[in-house]
Amino acid sequence: MSMTSSVDEGYRYRERTLKSQSFMNEASEYMPGGVTANIKYFTPHPIVMNKAKGAYVYDVDGNEYVDYLLSYGALKLGHGHEAITKAIGDQLEEQGTCLFGTPHHYEVEMAKQIKQLYPSMENIRYTNSGTEATLLALRLARAYTGKEGIAKFEGHYHGGFDEVLVSVNPSLEQAGPEQEPNSVLESKGMSERHKNTTITLPFNDLASCEEILRKKHQEIGAVIIEPLQGGFIRASQSFIEGMRQLTKEFGILFIFDEVKTGFRVALGGAQELYEVQPDLTTLGKVIGGGFPVGIVGGRKEIMNITSPSHSADVFDISQSQTSNASDVLFHSGTYNGHPTILACGLATLEVLKKETSDVCNLTSELKTELEHLFKQYSIPMLAVGEGSIFNIVITDKKNISHYRDLQASDFKLRKKMDLRLLLEGIYTKPLNRYSVSTAHTAVEVEKTIEAFRRVLNDL
């Protein structure tokens, strides 16, 4: 153990981020925990950022960081890319407003691009977040199949609403048997009924999934999956193909939640990687170019249930005496298909069409170098991921294939390392995955490797 390590990283962290700490003290007077989303919170206190450029973020104490959080993967072009600032200016100048509340051409332009990259998304609808996208996808599945229940996988996240906030990060005491996990509610205030109406499946275990679905398929309308758990743990090819087959056999819609993996594991998402077509797909993050967005898409006959052209919906008061709103699947939102946001999304796509393989190559290089470095320090580590997302898993295992594998990794050491990396100017939220952007270059990779070297040296 070196001299530096005898000084607690918590103490050094507090010393380096004094202004963040006092900001958080003030923020706590106005917002619970000082944050507007629980995900932004961590101990000792979150770092408060106030400037960013390219691959870098700067905190209120003036510290610089290479950013691997990239707002949970959303900023695939990094911060302040000129294509985005130009798209905002051009859209406002050309159209004279940021919002019409009517159909407009960016909606169709984006739909065409999406269909080209994700052929399974024959028809789409826009939402304002990934959460709204999964909400709509599940409503569509219930309407299409007439079945109320859903199934999701242990350790998979699909947004913060009751139906899916089940067994995302369950304690191992509550999680139940590995082959037939319990459905554990993950928040206060949730309805207990989701313990029964949301079935939890074991990821990458086809035989157990088949057994559960065979028993319960009459009550399950949708199986929703992160095709790469957490954006980084790959489903095996045989698992994803097997699940496609089983869901078809049982009359269940298979939903790929590609909010993280879309435009990141490949431009055409996990479905391009696996060459498997889901019934419905949800997208978000990258395709908003840093602004709030979600997209739901899928087979035309499924998506069409939401068309208000064949019957009146809840907003058509004039027809309430002659038809039922419940004949249409309701979907709406003041900001859906926001012109400025879609302009930014389209600009993002243009850049990504040229630069996706560079980002993937750079990520691959970073992963390889990190694994090599950890080996030199005899710390067993896997850099797990595809495309431009990965995570650092400290483990003796040869590979990580599901939630329980991840739970067996050394989170304590990882957290300690992450706090020290923050002191060295490498930013991701402790224990979070790493995302890479087009703004990252070999220079940032080298800085990152050197920072890791210093941290590993001091452990």
Ligand X SMILES: Cc1ncc(COP(=O)(O)O)c(C=O)c1O
Q: Which residues bind ligand X (CB under 6 A)?
A: 72, 129-131, 134, 157-159, 226, 257, 259-260, 284
Determine phi and psi for 361, rounding to 5 degrees: -65, -40
**Catalytic residue (choose from 13, 72, 157, 274):** 157
Distance (Å) of CA 234 to CA 137, 180, 387, 436:
22, 20, 11, 18
72 is annotated as an active-site residue: no
118 is annotated as an active-site residue: no
Other residues' Cβ atoms within 10 Å of the Cβ of residue 12: 15
**Residues paired with 386 in a beta bridge:** 389
Rounded to the nearest 10 degrees, the angle between the axes of helix 411-423 and helix 9-16 is 30
Nearer to ligand X, 127 or 306 (CB): 127
Tell me the residue nearest to ligand X as measured from the CB. Answer: 130
Rounded to the nearest whole angstrom, what is the least distance from the CB of residue 157 to ligand X in the complex? 5
Rounded to the nearest whole angstrom, what is the least distance from the CB of residue 134 to ligand X in the complex? 5
**Catalytic residue (choose from 76, 285, 367, 416):** 285
Nearer to ligand X, 231 or 444 (CB): 231
CA angle (282 as vertex; 438, 161 as ends), nearest 5: 110
Rounded to the nearest whole angstrom, what is the least distance from the CB of residue 11 to ligand X in the complex? 32
Nearer to ligand X, 17 or 230 (CB): 230
Nearer to ligand X, 261 or 401 (CB): 261
Q: Report H helices in 285-390.
A: 300-303, 339-376
Nearer to ligand X, 134 or 409 (CB): 134
Residue type, 443: V
Rounded to the nearest whole angstrom, what is the least distance from the CB of residue 118 to ligand X in the complex? 15
> Distance between CA atoms of 212 and 74, rounded to whole angstroms?
34
Rounded to the nearest whole angstrom, what is the least distance from the CB of residue 282 to ligand X in the complex? 7
> Distance between CA atoms of 367 and 388, rounded to whole angstroms?
10
**Catalytic residue (choose from 59, 205, 257, 279):** 257
Nearer to ligand X, 259 or 312 (CB): 259
Q: What is the DSSP letter of 166?
A: B
Residue 269 contacts by C-beta under 8 Å, 6 or more apart in sequence?
117, 118, 227, 256, 258, 261, 262, 263, 281, 283
412 is annotated as an active-site residue: no
Rounded to the nearest whole angstrom, what is the least distance from the CB of residue 199 to ligand X in the complex? 18
Residue 438 contacts by C-beta under 8 Å, 6 or more apart in sequence?
76, 77, 78, 81, 351, 352, 355, 358, 359
Catalytic residues: 157, 257, 285
